[in-house]
Amino acid sequence: MAAAKPGSGNKIISDNRAAGHDYFLLERFEAGIALTGTEVKACRAGRVQLKDAFGAVEAGEAWLLNAHISEYSHGNLNNHVPLRKRKLLLHRGEIDKLHGKTREKGLALIATKMYFKEGKIKVELALARGKKLHDKRETERTREQNAEARAALVRSKAH
């Protein structure tokens, strides 16, 4: 389970760090999510995987697909299906905006985080454009240069 940023009051349940590597994250949205009781208990235990999770707008409703919430260990016959389609709770204007944006060529709605906010489970979605291989290499090169610059700065302060 990942730790939340200090002072934010949000406890992160799951973080999709691969999304930043595979996509350019353009715009972020916060959505509530409709869950069953055993799903909430599994989330509290940190049993969530967002690696392949994405959002979709179908028939005027927003849905979270491919989010894996493991079955609750103490659940009974009424335990949930781990990969079921889950409804996202957004305002009508936000749903319409996302529907229009995801119709554009090359844009997708990717789940980047799931976290608790004031006792409610929220999902952060990002409007994203896929990176090509050369884009991924450029991002990695920039990250390495920044790390080297920070290390050089620390070394210069030590002398």
Does the residue 155 lie in any domain?
no
Say what percent of the chain tops pLDDT 90: 19
Residue 140 lies in a domain: no
Domain that holds residue 83: 11-131
Give the number of domains in the chain. 1
In a domain, 150, yes or no: no
Residue pair 127/107 in contact (Cβ under 8 Å)? The answer is yes
Mean pLDDT estimate for the chain: 84
Residue-wise pLDDT for 46-68, tens only, equals 888 898 888 888 888 999 999 88
Q: Are 128 and 106 in contact (CB under 8 A)?
A: no
Tell me, yes or no, whether 152 lies in a domain: no
| 47 domain-assigned | yes
CATH of the domain at 37: 2.40.280.10
- The answer to whether 121 and 13 have CB atoms below 8 angstroms apart is yes
- Residue 35 belongs to some domain of the structure: yes
Beta strand segments in 19-105, E: 23-33, 48-49, 54-58, 61-65, 68-69, 86-89
Note the pLDDT of residue 125.
Answer: 92
pLDDT digits (tens, 9 = 90+) for 4-24: 455 556 888 888 888 888 888
Residue 80 in domain: yes
- What's the pTM value of the predicted model, to 2 decimals? 0.74
